[in-house]
Amino acid sequence: MPEHKTASQPQSGDRGPWRVPLAVEDIAEAGLHFDLVAEKEVRAAVARLAGLRDLPRLEASFNVTRYGAGGLHVVGRVSATVGQTCVVTLEPLANEIEETIDLKYAPLPPGRTSEPESTHEQEMKWDEPEPLIGGRIDLGALATEFFILGLDPYPRKPGAVFRPPPHGAADAGPFAALAALKKSRDGR
């Protein structure tokens, strides 16, 4: 059974609004459990980054275990309550986000210090572990990334339906007023 840790005061820094760094050597062979709760300042910064109206709740829960020789396996979830704006009615609405995470990290091969610049250097494979650079990962950045991936880019209030303008109005186009002005000047 993994040891349990609670992180209620994530750090903020220059690499992202929510920072919870973790080194491989911090993880015992039995693993470690983390419950993360983003504080108000962090939630505000993540909301700005994601273009949200507000972010009243952002939490993550992770089980981190060793993976292979010097790697990590992170399994968990990120959940949040987000304040968005309906794309149809432009009214505020609240949505719930729940994203699962299951990633493996492995050290880079000897001689490599970073990920490849392009897919020409290395063909992308979905089942390969993520690179573990410097023996560290950031659980806050990981939670933020999966949270943003889980956002609905076109949120709608229940029952909201887009109705296009009547057919005649759509034909007028954005320059209809200028065309009418030109016609009146030319006397046509």
Digit-coded pLDDT (tens) for 35-80 = 999 999 999 999 999 999 999 999 999 999 999 889 999 999 999 9
Could you tell me the sign of the dihedral formed by the alpha carbons of 111, 115, 116, 119, in that order? positive
Q: Is the pTM of this model over 0.75?
A: no
**What is the signed CA dihedral for 6, 144, 51, 164, rounded to 10 degrees?**
-120
Element (H, E) at 186: helix 176-186
Q: Cα–Cα distance between 51 and 148 in angstroms, integer?
A: 10
Burial code (b: 16+ CB inside 10 Å, e: under 16) for 36-65 equals: bbbeeebbebbbeebebeebeebebbbebb
Other CB atoms within 10 A of residue 34 CB: 21
Strand partners for 103: 74
Percent of the chain with pLDDT over 90: 60
Q: How far is CA 73 from CA 56, 181, 182, in A?
A: 29, 67, 68
Greater confidence, 103 or 175? 103
Q: Sign of the C-alpha dihedral, residues 124, 126, 131, 136?
A: positive
pLDDT confidence tier of residue 10, bands split at 50, 70 and 90: very low
Q: How many residues does the chain have?
A: 188
